[in-house]
Amino acid sequence: MIHNRSALRRQGCSVILASLLSASLGLALPAAAQAEQASQFPSRPIRFIVPYAAGGLPDTVARVVAQGLTLSMGQPVVVENKPGANGVVAAQALASSPADGYSYLVTDGSMMSINPSLYKDLPYDPKRDFVPVSLIATSPLFLATSTQTGITSLQDFVKRVKAKPGVMNYGSSGVGSSHHLTMEAMKIALKLDINHVPFRGSGQSVPAMIGNQVDVVFAALPSLSGFADKGQAKILATNAGKRSALAPDIPAISELIPGFNFAVTVGALAPTGTPDFAVQKLSTAIAKAVKDAAVVKQFNTLGIEPVGGTPAEYEAAIDDEAKRYQSAIQAAGIKAD
């Protein structure tokens, strides 16, 4: 009886050990497969989905970076434009793609930081549906006026507005744009009373400023520099958190309003569930690509400042940007049309 019990115990231990060994092998196989995928990534073309038509800031950034990544990663990086419905079309295109590391969204901050505060029934959730990969670049906006106004500095502009409450006006690239929200944030911080005149982009607002239809505008540097060089426009300040390397002599609004930063951001995001090895590898590759001298020169010509950085850094930047925009939207009572 004792002999039989010992045999049964030995047999039971053997079964348990076999089960444990089987289980450990079962865990090891997926890990090994993932390690193999990581070592081979990327093994086919990568897709960048842009939520706007070709030619805009996110599209330009995506295409410049895609060229560099194609060379460094050994696989084509293809840009696909999916404009429509304030980024919803692009978000749905990404959501319908496998979360395998081969599809990404390249967008400005409006999808992550502005839309959630403007639209109640947004069909995507920035936190739930996307994983930050890298803050690729920023594009500071600059406050400018026609030289015919006689305004010579940021302080002079503020003084004029306060001397004529409700009389002066500013042009933007539309309701809810970064141009619009930058001025609204200024209005709140400095208690300014100035009227908003929305346009359909800087292609309309800047000529309106030169023609004295509006007193000031916010626009990207390339849209203003030609007029400034001809003596038709005076650039007063930048909305970035510090002076821009693109125009170091132009003061930042943050020098008057501490912590002020509404520069446009462009970053890459992956669908939730994307393997971490793919996110990390692409993030590292983007950071390297934007430091290339040719890319820096190309960006700077377009009024873009390269950044790069880790997924964690981009996540923190999105959170910070969302808080600032949400505050401006709520305080100004802005509602989407």
With residues binned 3-state (H G I as helix, E B as strand, rest as coil), the percentages for the chain, rounded to 5, are 50, 20, 30
CATH 3.40.190.150 domain span(s) along the chain? 46-139+263-332
Q: Record the pTM.
A: 0.86
Q: What is the pLDDT of residue 242?
A: 96
Q: For residue 5, what pLDDT is reported?
A: 43
Cβ–Cβ < 8 Å for 142, 237: yes
pLDDT at 3: 46
Distances (CA, A) of 315 to 33, 72, 132: 29, 25, 6
Q: Are strands 233-238 and 305-306 parallel, antiparallel or unpaired?
A: unpaired
CB 311 within 8 A of CB 131: yes
Residue 31 pLDDT class (50, 70, 90 cuts): low
CA atoms within 13 A on the CB side of 294: 5
Candidate CATH numbers 3.40.605.10, 3.40.50.720, 3.90.230.10, 3.40.190.150; the one for domain 46-139+263-332: 3.40.190.150
Confidence of residue 32 (pLDDT cuts 50, 70, 90): low
Cα(72)–Cα(294) distance, integer angstroms: 14
Band of residue 320 on the pLDDT scale cut at 50, 70, 90: very high
User: For residue 132, what are the contacts with CB-CB under 8 A and spacing of at least 6?
Assistant: 267, 269, 311, 312, 314, 315, 318
Distance CA 214, CA 195 (A): 9
Do residues 173 and 197 make contact, with C-beta atoms less than 8 angstroms apart? no
Task: Output the pLDDT for position 100.
Answer: 95
pLDDT tens per residue, range 170-206: 999 998 899 999 999 999 999 999 999 999 999 999 9
- Express each pLDDT in 51-71 by its tens digit: 999 999 999 999 999 999 999
In angstroms, the CA 34 to CA 147 distance is 61
CA–centroid distance for 140 within its chain: 12
Nearest 10 degrees: CA dihedral of 129, 132, 133, 136?
A: 120
pLDDT per position as a tens digit, 230-282: 999 999 999 999 999 999 999 999 999 999 999 999 999 999 999 999 999 99
The answer to whether the CB of 306 falls within 8 A of the CB of 291 is yes
Determine the Cα angle at 253 with ends 251 and 258, to 5°. Answer: 120
Which DSSP category does 270 fall into? E
**Residue linked to tokens 């005076």:** 234
For 141-255, give the CATH class: alpha beta
As annotated, the residues of the chain forming the CATH 3.40.190.10 domain(s) are 141-255
